[in-house]
């Protein structure tokens, strides 16, 4: 049986409509841009006990060519190795009141920058829906 562990992999798409998965995985119109860290407690809480209508979060961007987030984007998240989720409405870049998470320099595998974003649920919708 394959091991299940936290990944936090973050995928985005700038398509007008929510893109479909390809063979049960993000691909095609989806681009992996980085990771949402374990320290984003309020963000990850929405997968265990959905209670909020909106949540702000930081994405650790690993792509060299990405210095800002698109003005509107679909957010896909690989929470655990066998669980994929997408936001039910597009996310937007937004400044957050708290500071970006700091990673110890010795633990950082590759240079990254932290970009902040926000996602809000549509009326009567949860923040995220599970795809797999």
Going residue by residue through the chain, which has 132 residues, state the pLDDT in tens, using 9 for 90 and above: 556 667 888 999 999 999 988 888 888 899 999 888 888 888 888 877 777 788 888 888 888 888 888 999 999 998 877 788 899 889 998 877 655 556 655 555 555 566 767 778 777 777 777 777
Q: pTM score > 0.85 for this model?
A: no
3-class DSSP string for the chain: CCCCCEEEEEEEECCCCCCCCECCECCCCCEEEEECCCCCHHHHHHHHCCCCCEEEEEEEECCCCCCCCCCCEEEEEEEECCEEEEECCCEEECCCCCCCCCCCCCCCCCCCEEEEEEEECCCCCCCEEECC
């Amino acid at each position: 049986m394959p091991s299940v562990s936290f990944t936090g992999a973050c995928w985005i798409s700038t398509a007008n409509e929510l893109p479909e998965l390809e063979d049960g995985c993000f691909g095609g119109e989806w681009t992996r841009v980085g990771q949402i860290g374990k320290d984003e407690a309020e963000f990850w809480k929405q997968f265990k006990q959905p209670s909020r209508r909106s949540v702000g979060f930081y994405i650790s961007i690993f792509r060299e060519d990405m210095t800002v987030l698109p003005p509107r984007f679909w957010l896909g998240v690989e929470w655990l190795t066998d669980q994929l989720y997408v936001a039910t409405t597009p996310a937007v870049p937004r400044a957050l009141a708290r500071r970006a998470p700091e990673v110890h320099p010795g633990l950082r595998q590759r240079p990254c920058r932290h970009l902040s974003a926000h996602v809000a649920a549509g009326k009567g919708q949860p923040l995220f829906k599970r795809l797999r």
